[in-house]
Amino acid sequence: MTLTASTPRDLADTRLTLTHALQRVGFAFVEGSCMRPLLEQVRALDDWQAFVASWDRLEPDAYLASVGRYRRRRHAVFSAERTGLVRREAHQPHYQSLKYNPLQGDIERWFEPMAESVSDGATLSSILAFTRDFFGNLSPDTGAWHIEVHQFRIEALPGEPGQPTPEGVHRDGVDYVLVLLVDRTNIVSGTTTIHDAEGRQLGSFTLTAPLDAALVDDARVFHGVTAVTPEDPSLSAHRDVLVVTLRSKARTS
């Protein structure tokens, strides 16, 4: 399901349309022109430019050294009740089982922490509150969430494509996922594909503009992203995204 700005609608109608899409097919693609007002309904994105600039300060993903050095990232963990504040937790590793990540599963991966100026800023605060409320609507029995936030930069070099999902088409082993485009510079491809449990493709779309977003019911569908290559090999090329995952605290990892 794709939500664009071509059909005027109020914010309540937009939320309802997205809710129905997640319930019906397990995913939705939202153009940034629709996503921005949803986020600004929570809080103005006053620090957006500083938020975007923080991707220039990500650190290499050392766990990918054996397959390539094209990914930079930072990581943070939050918790949230159904209402109230979203709280940042002490820095901790990111863990996925081999069931969900055959490339890097069953290990604790420690990444450099997200800067406090980013985690405390207006933009991320708005994004986290939106995801908590939107996905919480889809899961009314969930009282508290474990939330992980990943800043990713995928770099592409001549002859060395960047792999946004080196593990291939996969699930993250959580309840819900938000993928939000922050910046895309001199990049070709990077198409997101959505699949059912039998591997059939349900849809595809490419995040091209800031705040373009994918909303995914991770328990129902699989997702992957095709490799990115430089449009102009003589210039630097990267794809910057924010990934937010939510898992009920009642679930074990």
pLDDT digits (tens, 9 = 90+) for 156-210: 988 888 888 877 898 889 999 999 999 999 999 999 999 999 999 999 999 999 9
User: pTM of this prediction?
Assistant: 0.92
Answer whether CATH 3.40.50.720 is correct for domain 2-248.
no
Q: Where are the beta strands (DSSP E) in the chain?
A: 2-3, 27-30, 59-60, 71-81, 86-88, 94-96, 107-109, 144-155, 176-185, 187-189, 191-195, 201-206, 213-217, 222-225, 228-230, 238-248
Domain boundaries, the chain: 2-248
CB atoms within 10 A of CB 44: 12
Report the alpha-carbon distance of residue 237 to residue 183 in Å, rounded.
11
pLDDT digits (tens, 9 = 90+) for 104-155: 555 777 889 999 999 999 999 999 999 999 999 999 999 999 999 999 999 9
The answer to whether residue 40 scores a pLDDT higher than 70 is: yes
Tell me the C-alpha to C-alpha distance, in Å, between residue 165 and each of 48, 103, 157, 161, 229: 26, 10, 17, 12, 14
Report the alpha-carbon distance of residue 35 to residue 217 in Å, rounded.
18
